Amino acid sequence: MTMTLFYAANSCSLASHLALAHSGATYSARKVDFTKSEQRTPEYLAVNPKGRVPALVTERGIITENPAILAYVAQRFPAAKLLPVDDVYLFAQAQSFNSYLASTVHVAHAHRYRGARWSDDPAAHESMRRKVPETMTACFQQIESDYFQGPFVLGDQYSACDMYVFTISQWLEGDEVDVNQFAKVSALRKWMFANPVVQQVLQSQ
Amino acid sequence: MTMTLFYAANSCSLASHLALAHSGATYSARKVDFTKSEQRTPEYLAVNPKGRVPALVTERGIITENPAILAYVAQRFPAAKLLPVDDVYLFAQAQSFNSYLASTVHVAHAHRYRGARWSDDPAAHESMRRKVPETMTACFQQIESDYFQGPFVLGDQYSACDMYVFTISQWLEGDEVDVNQFAKVSALRKWMFANPVVQQVLQSQ
C-alpha cells in the first residue's frame, strides 16, 4: 500500500504535498473539492472527522494536521533532509516555526473567509475581514525579523518549514498584503517557483 | 545551566510546565505577570518576540510554542515516556493531537478574551464571546469521540497529550461548558488532580 494524501486546492495542504513530493516517498494525491463541500461528506469525514485537509493515509492509520504530517514525512524519509530530525534542539526550533504558522499565521488568515467559525454575526465577519491585512502583515514582519534565518527559514538547508511558509505566503495577495516588502520570503518564493518539484506539485493542484 | 520555563498563571504554558515537572529535568520556572502586561516589556520580548508563553530557555537557545516544547522535552528525556518518541507513526498521532489543541481548540477559546487580535469592533468581540460555549463544546465532543482512546489520550500510557488537554479543560468552566458531559476528559482530570506532581505544579502557579 502506498500512502495517499487528501488535499484541497489553494489550501494549507500544499505544505504536506510539497514535503511528500520532496521526500522520495511513493504516494498518490486525492483532491477534496471544497467548492462542492466534499469535506463534509460521510466518505471524507470517515477519513478525517474534522472535515479538513490535509489528511495522510498511511499503512498504519491516518495522520492529520500539517505540523504532524511534516514531522512524520521528515522522520520517515530522513535522507530527504526535510527537517533536522537528528538534532533534538534544531528539530524543536523547526517544529516551533511550523506550530506558529499553524496556530497563529494560518488562523490570522482564516478570519478572512472563515469568520463563521467564531461568530454568527455577518457584521462581525466583515470586521474580521477588514483586520486581516494588518494581522498578516504583522505575522510576516515577525517571521522576517525573528524566525527566518536566510536564505532558507532554517539557514542553509531547504526544509519543510520553507514549504509551509511558501504555502501561506501564497495567500498574501488575496489578503491585500504586498509580499515584496518581505525580502527573505520573496527570495524564497522566487527560488521555489523555479524548483521543478514545486512546479510539478503546483501544476497538479 | 539549568533550563528556565517562562509561564503565566491560567495560561496554556501549564502544559509545558507539567511536562517538565514529569520529565525529571532540572529546571526553574519564572512567572510572567499578564495582569501587569509583563509579556510586552522589552525584557520579555527579548526572550520571546511574540510576547506569549510558554518559552523554554535551554543551553542552546529559546524554544516557544507548546507542541514544540512538549516534543522537545519528550525527546530529550525519553525515560519519562512523555510521548512515543521511538515510533514515528505513534509520535505523529500524538503530535497531531497536540497540534489540534494549539491551532483549533486553544484558538476557539481565545475568542472569549482575545477578540481584539482579529477585529477592532467591540460588538464583534461580544459576538465572538457568545459563540465560545458552542465551539468549545464541539471541540471537546470531537476529542471524546475521535481522538481520546482512554483511559489516557494515547491509550494506556499517560503522556504530554494528557497534560495539554488537561490544561485546556481548565478553561471550560469559564467558557460556560460543563466538563462533566465529557466522560473521558472528566476521568482524566480526576486522575490528574490526584497526581502529586500535578498538584505541586498547580500549587506553584
Taking residues A119-137, report their average pLDDT: 98
Q: What is the CA radius of gyration of chain B?
A: 17
The pTM for the full model equals 0.98
- Cell digits of residue B106: 486553544
Looking at the complex, report in whole angstroms how far the Cα of residue A46 sits from the nearest Cα belonging to chain B: 10
- Return the ∠ at Cα B4 (arms to B161 and B25), rounded to 5°: 60
Please give the pLDDT value at position B165: 99
Name the B residues in 119-158 with CB < 8 Å from any A CB: 119-121, 123-124, 127-128, 130-131, 135, 142, 145-146
What per-residue confidence (pLDDT) applies to B1? Answer: 72
The x, y and z cell numbers of residue B82, run together, are 512523555
pLDDT at A1: 72
Mean pLDDT, chain A, integer: 97
**How big is the CA angle at A64 (ends A58 and A69), to the nearest 5 degrees?**
70
Output the furthest CA–CA distance in chain A (Å, rounded): 50
Per residue in A160-184, pLDDT tens? 999 999 999 999 999 999 999 999 9
* Chain A residues touching residue B127 (CB < 8 angstroms): 119-121, 123-124
Residue with cell 493542484: A205
Q: Do A68 and B99 touch (CB under 8 A)?
A: yes
B108 to chain A: closest CA residue: A118
Cis bond upstream, residue A122 (ω within 30): no
Q: Which residues pair with A62 in a beta bridge?
A: A57
Which residue in A120, A180, A161, A140 sits closest to A19, CA to CA? A161
- Nearest residue in chain A measured CA to CA from B72: A92
> Which residues 69-88 on chain A approach chain B with CB closer than 8 angstroms?
69, 71-72, 75-76, 88
Q: Are B92 and A63 in contact (CB < 8 Å)?
A: yes
**CB-CB neighbors (< 8 A) of A61 in chain B:** 89, 93
Contact A75 B96 (CB under 8 A): no
- In tens, the pLDDT along A8-37 reads 999 999 999 999 999 999 999 999 999 999
Q: Is B199 on the interface with A (CB under 8 A)?
A: no
Q: Which residues of chain B have pLDDT under 50?
A: none
ipTM at complex level: 0.98
Residue A7 pLDDT level (bands cut at 50, 70, 90)? very high
**Which of the four pLDDT bands, split at 50, 70 and 90, describes residue A89?**
very high
Question: Which of the 8 DSSP states describes residue A36?
Answer: G
Q: How many residues does chain B have?
A: 205
**CA B106 → CA A124, B99, B113, B114, B132, distances in Å?**
20, 10, 12, 11, 11
The DSSP secondary-structure symbol of B5 reads E
Q: Which residue has the cell 511513493?
A: A26
Residues of chain A above pLDDT 70, percent:
100
Using one digit for the tens of pLDDT, what is the confidence trace for B25-81? 999 999 999 999 999 999 999 999 999 999 999 999 999 999 999 999 999 999 999
State the pLDDT at residue B151.
Answer: 98
Residues from chain B that touch A128, judged by Cβ atoms under 8 A, are: 118-119, 124
